[in-house]
Structures are given as C-alpha cells and as structure tokens.
C-alpha cells in the first residue's frame, strides 16, 4: 500500500497515525506540508527515522523545493521523487491511502 501524508507533524497527528497503521514493506510518500516530516533534527524526526528500516519513505521534490528544504537536510534514507515518481508509486502499490 502507498500511504500519502499531507500534513506537517507539527500541525497534525496524521503522520503518527499513518506510522501506527502502516505495515512493514509499505511505501509512505510525504506531500504538501507533509514534507516537513522529512526534516532531520526535529522533535518528530525519530518517529520517521525508525520507520525507514522497514518502510520505504519518499518525499515529493517539488513540495520540498517550494518550501526551501534542501535534500541534505532530510532524514537519511528518505528518497525524493517528482510527480512522475508519485504516479509510479501509486501504480506499483495495490492501493493508495491518503492520510489527510
């Protein structure tokens, strides 16, 4: 399953809820304000950093760029993709769950 999270973890519990329910082997894509969850060195970093062991975590490049977040500030192991990668992830997984 592909999970998308569009809320900042500082604003909403969506990322936490997603991580509580996502099974190992699934994909998580951070989009819109959700990309703030990809930042290293924040109070929320640990919950996502721990997940990258069993879940593939992606962040949407255009949303990172829009917010001035360079790739070298992200949690190691998070992969940056464009909208083409978003489409590929949606098709490669059996369904998409949007954590709004």
Output 26 or 78, the one with its CB closest to another protein. Answer: 26
List phi, psi (to 5°) of 38: -85, -10
Question: How long a stretch of residues is the chain?
Answer: 100
Shortest distance, position 100 Cβ to another protein, whole Å:
5
Shortest distance, position 76 Cβ to another protein, whole Å:
26
Which tokens hold the place of 85?
Answer: 């990668």
* Residues of this chain that bind another protein (CB under 8 A): 1, 4, 6, 13, 17, 20-23, 31-33, 62, 82-84, 86-88, 90-91, 95-100
Output 4 or 9, the one with its CB closest to another protein. Answer: 4
Q: How far apart are CA 37 and CA 30, in angstroms?
A: 7
Kindly tell me the sign of the dihedral angle through the C-alpha atoms of 30, 35, 37, 39.
positive
């Amino acid at each position: 399953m592909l999970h998308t999270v569009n809320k900042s973890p500082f604003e909403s519990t969506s990322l936490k809820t997603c991580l509580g329910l996502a099974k190992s082997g699934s994909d998580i894509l951070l989009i819109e304000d959700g990309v703030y969850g990809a930042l290293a060195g924040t109070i929320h970093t640990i919950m996502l950093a721990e997940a990258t062991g069993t879940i593939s975590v992606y962040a949407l490049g255009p949303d990172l760029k829009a917010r001035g977040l360079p790739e070298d500030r992200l949690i190691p192991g998070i992969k940056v993709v464009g909208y083409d990668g978003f489409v590929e992830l949606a098709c490669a997984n059996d369904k998409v769950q949007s954590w709004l």
